[in-house]
Structure 1
Amino acid sequence: MRQRRLKVLEGDAVYHCVTRVVSGEMLLDDQAKEILRKHLWQTAAFCGVELLTCCIMTNHFYVLVRVPNSQGTYIADEKLIRCYRPLYPKPTKYRTARAESLEAVLKAGGVEAEALRKQLGSRMYDASEFIKTVKQRFSVWYNCSHNRYGTLWAERFKSVRSGTPLATCTVAAYIDLNPVRAGLAKDPKDYCWCG
């Protein structure tokens, strides 16, 4: 049975997350890896998480993210707009609002502005929301560009909290060395979709 993820309420938390493509299919070619890499960085900027490292392989990806503790923290309208811009730089078929129109709603105040603050704020400082947004945005792009439909991901992502700085460094090395272990590069710096 699905269980809610435990969230750290005191201090920052670092999470090692992995998610796999459905049926282990090797769907992520170089173009897809580059788009996914872009989505990871844009979504990290929106969600307010720090992407410490990542590695995108042909059928899965790893990320190591630091999630700041923001329990009960007020997020200023300027920050909401600043975080929204990289994620949605221009209107899309699915997201028609521009940052400028969001800014106008927030400045006007009222019930609509408060609902918007709550909606955007609930997507920030949360590893689950970060991964969910990355997977959702990438799935839409992938399915549209490959004339495909249906799920792209095998299951819900897995995550493990890294408890110490040493553990974080060890996990970062593990993630960055994936292409070396797979024989795709002799050095992680030579693999475009990691680190």
Structure 2
Amino acid sequence: MAHNRVKESCSDQAVYYLVTNRIAGGRMLFRDLEKQKLKELLNDGVAKLSYQLIDYVFMDNHFHLLIKIPPTLQMDDVALLQRYRVHKQNEEINFISKEQRNDFREKIHDISFIIGNFEQRFVQWFNKEHSSWGRLFGQRFDSEMIEVSAQSDSLLRVMAYISLNPVRAGIVSDPKDFHFCGYSDRLAGGSVGKSDHEFFDVFCRGIEANDIRDKQKHFREVFRAYMLGLRRYKNADSQTLAEFFREVNLSEELAWDDLFIHKCRFFTKCLVIGSEAFVREKLTKFSAKMNWKRIHEPYTEDEWNDIYSLKPRRRRRASAG
């Protein structure tokens, strides 16, 4: 049974989610055609709903997405109406009331509606393309709320986990060579990396940048170094990165940091990923709504670099006498 979902609607700040789903029965049904369609539908949804695709990977039997939901009040009424007309496929339709407008605003900022719409459209296409019917995914998707702040490298960690999927699977030795992932997309100048400059101030301290492109470039350098094992990103400067890359022999098969060879359940079977303070904040906020039968506490291990998740713990039975 899938776990409860932690999600929230914020009027003044963005919310980030790691989203995962798998094909029923572990079947390998995503070939190049299917992966290209998944990518196409995700990009189409950006114009209809309200989200940004920060990262992704499409494997043969599952996918991972890193989705940013912007603040609900960031979209003005004009842009909202445009999305409503695209969503309804009617260029002349209008909202009939303020309540309907507000309901639609909340809906297109809701991770459940966004991913549900994406999966439904893909399954409809897949069944038509392959003359099949019925369910494609084994269960509802998993989603984890991700902290994005200078207090935690959770975003980098999740992006590395996503990007290194094809490396762990032995498909490529470098994620830049895997066509269906966000890392190769952003290096090729695709739409995925357009917001990379937003992470410059968080992860590129001490590095000077003149414009947005410069910020994007430096963030991608820090991210690549992070995947390869650099743990000094919080104090990273141009000299630190240059020294690190001189030590990495890029002419040989890259030896990615063992930190990322871990159980995927840490990322896909929890509720929140971030610093201990962030996890405790969400635990306090959502505990009453979850109706949990088990005790939940922030969980981490030494090699996780102070990244915590929500992991259920069984209640201890009271000892006799």
User: What TM-score, normalized by structure 1, do the two folds share?
Assistant: 0.78
Number of residue pairs matched by the alignment? 177
1:7 equivalent in alignment to 2:8: yes
**Which of 62, 68, 92 is the equivalent residue of 1:101?**
92
Distance 2:52 2:135 in 1: 27
Distance 2:36 2:90 in 1: 25
Query: Structure 1: 5+ residue runs without aligned partners?
Result: 89-96, 107-111
Query: Structure 2: 5+ residue runs without aligned partners?
Result: 183-321
Q: Which has the higher contact order (CA 8 A, sep 6+)?
A: 1
State, as a whole percentage, how many aligned pairs show the same letter: 32
Question: Measured at CA, do residues 31 and 115 of structure 1 come closer, stay the same or move farther in structure 2, by a change above 3 Å?
Answer: farther
**Which of 36, 48, 51 is the equivalent residue of 1:49?**
51
1:58 equivalent in alignment to 2:27: no
Distance 1:191 1:69 in 2: 32
Distance 1:69 1:98 in 2: 25
Q: Counterparts of 1:55-94 in structure 2 under 5 Å?
A: 55-70=57-72, 73=73, 76-83=76-83
Distance 1:21 1:50 in 2: 24
Q: Which structure has the bigger radius of gyration?
A: 2
Q: Counterparts of 1:97-176 in structure 2 under 5 Å?
A: 97-102=88-93, 105-106=94-95, 112=96, 117-118=101-102, 120-165=104-149, 166-176=153-163
Distance 2:20 2:117 in 1: 14
Which SS does the other structure have where 2:108 is aligned? coil
Which SS does the other structure have where 1:15 is aligned? strand
Distance 1:57 1:146 in 2: 19
Residue 122 (structure 1) shift: 3.6
Q: Which shows bigger deviation, 54-63 or 75-84?
A: 75-84
Question: Measured at CA, do residues 68 and 98 of structure 1 come closer, stay the same or move farther in structure 2, by a change above 3 Å?
Answer: closer
Question: Measured at CA, do residues 181 and 84 of structure 1 come closer, stay the same or move farther in structure 2, by a change above 3 Å?
Answer: farther
Question: Measured at CA, do residues 189 and 45 of structure 1 come closer, stay the same or move farther in structure 2, by a change above 3 Å?
Answer: farther
User: What TM-score, normalized by structure 2, do the two folds share?
Assistant: 0.50
Residue 125 (structure 1) shift: 1.4
